[in-house]
Chain A
Amino acid sequence: MDTAEIEAKVIQFIATKVENLDASTINRSSKFEELGLDSMDTIQLLFDAEDAFGINFDSEEAKGFSTVGDIVSYIETHQPSAAPQ
């Protein structure tokens, strides 16, 4: 996936996880707290994202995440290499 694709998928994913949140209001620089997520909500979001995107967030690194873009960048640099089908 390229950056734009990951970004779109992450935004879509967040919109499904957070109630009353329209995907069109989320962008790469949106801060979690602006989306109504407290620290525990964010941890839960990342936990669910691991399953959804098939990756594992390094917990120390994930502690520093504050924006949607942080998730996008992490997935981009850690996405599983294309495996043979």
Chain B
Amino acid sequence: MRVVVTGMGVVSPIGIGVDQFWSAAVNGVSGIKRITSFDASSRRSQIAGEVADFDPSTFLSQKYIEQTDRFTQLALLAARLALEDAGGLDAYESRRIGVSIGSGMGGFSTFESSALRKFRSQPVPPFTVPRTMANSAAAWIAIRHGFKGMNLTSSTACSSGANAIGAALDLLRAGRADVVVAGGAEACVLPLTINGFEILHALTTTSNDNPTGASRPFAKGRDGFVMGEGAGILILEKEEQARHRGAKIYAELAGYGQACDATHIVMPDMEGQIAAMQEAIRDAGMEPDSIEHINAHATSTPLGDTVETRAIKNLFGARAADIAISATKSMVGHSIGASAAIGSIATIMALHTGTIHPTINLDEADPECDLDYTPNVAQKRSVRTGLCNAFGFGGNNASILFTTLA
């Protein structure tokens, strides 16, 4: 049984909807700007990839807006776009439609604002808990569209979106659903959350006056990631049923691998990354030699990009140099639990269009990062297989493999 992608929806700092997103990505447009959602002028990190033109009132009623956190609103828009792209799911019985969403922080925007009110002895808004809980995005997608099947949330930090898509593949294979709305959403350009990542020295602090040049995966002198936000949603169905209802098919979701480092809560570990990629390839019944493209996790941290490069070289050997790699985060920043869902859409579009989007801000690569990262300019390259990597705090490594159907 094959699982295929029949719809995609994305809400990102470089565009809402796949067309806008992909056009910006191929042209190397950066969505990183100075933070506008709160006053960050006294912060060490003052920049982020925000979805600046996002207005929930264009598609949600006042009641929905009141009862939902921003991450849910981003997810609802991405889901709507994906469902439209898939031509709707009327062909399916509602109990057979699952939802699988990833989010690292969940409704932290609500948590931060409600906590602030509490500390100021102001009343706490009634929807604080239902807005904050990590599964609220998945729940609201179900409520909005009447999807009554399995409804799951993966909260595995930066790999949440990949785990959610992987879990969807498992559900379809196990026969627990006929179609799954899967992806990730995050809205954590927030004072406390940014502060928390600053304290860990995870964020870049040297490019506040040059936001578009701040996120520079694999580049010499990179000093941390840029916080991002957004959502990416895929519609995943069994190939036979997708064909039966006449759906257009973008790609096959062929494999999923997940491995835990079991070493350190935040430090990356090469062995776990290798194991995740290896498992995704094995799961698809393929060999490492057949991998032609990798959408790297590549957050622009000094250690992370080097370790991922080493993992790729270890797994693919001499062939590593032939793999077209690119880092979506160079343009959109790191949207934590949404990042692998957005990265998956970039991977699928690479397969679908035969174009690899560039890794921007890569004028001079770190000597330890010596692979083909598609620096600065998109490349025409017909690839048939693409891995999307996501490595998260908790030592969580996930890798998902998309292929063309031919």
Q: Which residues of A pack against B, CB within 8 Å?
A: 17, 19, 40-41, 43-44, 47, 50, 56
How far is the CB of A35 from the nearest CB of chain B, in Å? 13
CB neighbours (8 Å) of B123 from chain A are 47, 50, 56
CB neighbours (8 Å) of B126 from chain A are 40, 43-44, 47
The answer to whether B213 has its CB under 8 Å from any CB of chain A is no
How far is the CB of A40 from the nearest CB of chain B, in Å? 7
Asked whether B127 lies within 8 Å of A40 as measured between CB atoms, the reply is yes
How far is the CB of B110 from the nearest CB of chain A, in Å? 13
Q: Which residues of B pack against A, CB within 8 Å?
A: 61-63, 66-67, 123, 125-127
User: What is the CA–CA distance of A47 and B131 in the complex, to the nearest angstrom?
Assistant: 15
Asked whether B62 lies within 8 Å of A19 as measured between CB atoms, the reply is yes
CB neighbours (8 Å) of A56 from chain B are 123
How far is the CB of A17 from the nearest CB of chain B, in Å? 8
Closest to A40 in B: B126
Q: List 12 A-B contacts (CB under 8 A).
A: A17-B62, A19-B61, A19-B62, A40-B67, A40-B126, A40-B127, A43-B126, A44-B67, A44-B125, A44-B126, A44-B127, A56-B123
Q: A50-B123, A56-B123 are in contact. Are A44 and B66 (CB under 8 A)?
A: yes
Closest to A37 in B: B63
Apart from A41-B63, A47-B123, A50-B123, what are 16 other A-B pairs with CB-CB below 8 Å?
A17-B62, A19-B61, A19-B62, A19-B63, A40-B67, A40-B126, A40-B127, A43-B126, A44-B66, A44-B67, A44-B125, A44-B126, A44-B127, A47-B125, A47-B126, A56-B123
CB neighbours (8 Å) of A47 from chain B are 123, 125-126
CB neighbours (8 Å) of B125 from chain A are 44, 47
User: What is the CA–CA distance of A45 and B78 in the complex, to the nearest angstrom?
Assistant: 29
CB neighbours (8 Å) of B63 from chain A are 19, 41
Closest to B127 in A: A44
CB neighbours (8 Å) of B62 from chain A are 17, 19
User: What is the CA–CA distance of A17 and B62 in the complex, to the nearest angstrom?
Assistant: 8
Closest to A48 in B: B66
Closest to A17 in B: B62
Closest to B125 in A: A47
User: What is the CA–CA distance of A19 and B126 in the complex, to the nearest angstrom?
Assistant: 19
User: What is the CA–CA distance of A40 and B127 in the complex, to the nearest angstrom?
Assistant: 8
CB neighbours (8 Å) of B66 from chain A are 44
Closest to B61 in A: A19
Of B66, B67, B123, B126, which is in contact with the most chain A CB atoms at under 10 Å from its CB? B126
User: What is the CA–CA distance of A56 and B63 in the complex, to the nearest angstrom?
Assistant: 22
Closest to A43 in B: B126
User: What is the CA–CA distance of A50 and B122 in the complex, to the nearest angstrom?
Assistant: 11
Of A17, A43, A44, which is in contact with the most chain B CB atoms at under 10 Å from its CB? A44
